[in-house]
Amino acid sequence: MKQVVNTERLPIKMWLNDMEPQAVAQARNLANLPFAYKHIAIMPDSHVGYGMPIGSILATSGVVVPNAVGVDIGCGMVAQKTYLKEISTEELKKVLGIARQTIPVGFDHHKEAQDEALMPENHEELNIVKNQYNSALKQLGTLGGGNHFIEIQRGSDGYIWIMIHSGSRNLGYKVANHYNRLAQRLNERWFSVVEKNKELAFLPIETQEAHDYMNEMNYCIAFGVANRKLMMQRMMEAMHEVKGDFEVDEIINKPHNFAAWEHHFGKNVLVHRKGATRAFDGELGMIPGSQGTKSYIVKGKGNPESFMSCSHGAGRKLGRKQAKRELNLEEEINLLEEQNILHAIRHKSDLEEAAGAYKDIFEVMNNQKDLVDIVVELQPLAVIKG
């Protein structure tokens, strides 16, 4: 931990030295919520979000806050170790070519519905999910855009890894927006002390609305897992087509946009992680850098001060529009090509996901030595972006 702010109702415990003023203001809003519990935890990758900083943890007593989970419910990472030790540049190009034929990216979906057996069960009981189910069948196994990626990596353990970052696609977006708007309307009706402009409307946990949100949120989390697993299956099929037979380890999966009941400081509370990864003692997780820097397989230390959490990545240092204005396209491309990385930077519009748009991952990792231990360092070899 780097600093503690004690000027608000609850302390704000921060694992970074510098934070943009708007994100600091959001953290102060969290700390003054009447239902916030114990303290607010701010991870070293934190930056401004909607209502709540990305890379922060809010524990609540008696309520759920849809915007403290966010619009991409269940967004997270999977990583899988292969027992391949070598893959050439030409082989990487072939793998990427095959993968792009089976994994839609950006706004693209599959033209046909995917195998329904891969979907989570009981969608018929959920209002928003039920209405979006047929569309979700075509979104299953798709990457999306923004900071979502598929990356082939070389591990410090000598093996080739694959890592995927994606979420619940339009399904989670629809659920999040519906329940956030519902919470806003109800908060206005209740004359809530949580002002609308704070973007932190809540649902008391004993209400039907909160019950419905939790059920739909958990479905979206499960859909996010299914989405990432199908993409990993398709990536492995592409790898096998190019490299032949090889063994793999079990998938490591970690969501970083979710709320869950946990026991902290002697009480059962609802822990909201928005752009933060659970890091219970001994628990494996992933912390990606950028497409030009290392990523990490980590093991949690179960630090109670962070509600047993860690960062979910390097974190942005430049907004998307700011990155496109300020970064130099040629310099960003050269940075990647000097490392022989097959990358996704082609045009000025791609600069929003350039390495220069992100914080220094080495500093981020150094700031959370009390939260996780590094198990494997992963160097990018090839990247697919949305």
Known catalytic residues are 312
Angle in degrees, CA 278, 124, 76, rounded to 5: 20
> Is beta strand 76-81 parallel, antiparallel or unpaired with respect to 3-5?
unpaired
CA–CA separation, 98 vs 318, rounded Å? 33
Using CA atoms of 61, 63, 69, 75 in order, give the dihedral in degrees to the nearest 10.
90
If we measure between CA atoms, which residue out of 138, 221, 139 comes closest to residue 175?
Answer: 221
Alpha helices by DSSP H, the chain? 21-31, 89-102, 127-139, 169-189, 208-243, 320-326, 329-338, 361-366
Per the CB < 8 A criterion, the answer to whether 260 and 343 are in contact is: no
Which residues, including other chains, have CB under 8 Å from residue 216's CB and lie 6 or more apart?
126, 127, 128, 129, 175, 179
Return the ∠ at Cα 208 (arms to 206 and 212), rounded to 5°: 110
Cα atoms in the 13 Å half-sphere on the side-chain side of 109: 15
Is the distance from CB of 152 to CB of 341 less than 8 angstroms? no
Contacts 24+ apart (CB under 8 A), 115-121: 118/226, 118/229, 118/230, 119/223, 119/226, 120/219, 120/222, 120/223, 120/226
Nearest to residue 350, comparing CAs of 290, 286, 275? 290
